[in-house]
Amino acid sequence: NHGRRRAAKPLVKYGKSVTAWDVIKVQKKDEIQKVIEEEHGVKPRDQEMIAKYQWAVNKVMGGLTQEEIKEAERL
């Protein structure tokens, strides 16, 4: 307990790896909001928008071409 010192722990890496999903959510933000408004009539900043957001992202992701997905993965 008192006789020896413990080895120092390694530093924690605080970085986040960015995926194609993250890039597309940022690039297509306006399109995602437009899909939610058209399909469900929910305005931005409404409580219901949170429930519909994942559905809208999936719909936008499904409409992308392979080239757009590869470009997002490259970024």
Residue pair 36/42 in contact by the 8 Å Cβ criterion: yes
pLDDT band at residue 54 using 50, 70 and 90 as cut-offs: very high
Average confidence (pLDDT) over 12-30: 87
Calpha distance 28→41 (Å, rounded)? 19
**Burial degree of 72 (CB within 10 A; 0-12, 13-18, 19+):** buried
pLDDT band at residue 66 using 50, 70 and 90 as cut-offs: very high
Average confidence (pLDDT) over 15-29: 89
In a domain, 50, yes or no: yes
Residue pair 59/37 in contact by the 8 Å Cβ criterion: no
Average confidence (pLDDT) over 28-57: 90
Residue pair 42/52 in contact by the 8 Å Cβ criterion: yes
In a domain, 41, yes or no: yes
In a domain, 6, yes or no: no
What is the number of domains present in the chain?
1
In a domain, 29, yes or no: yes
What are the structure tokens assigned to 49, written together?
């928008």
pLDDT band at residue 27 using 50, 70 and 90 as cut-offs: very high
In a domain, 14, yes or no: no
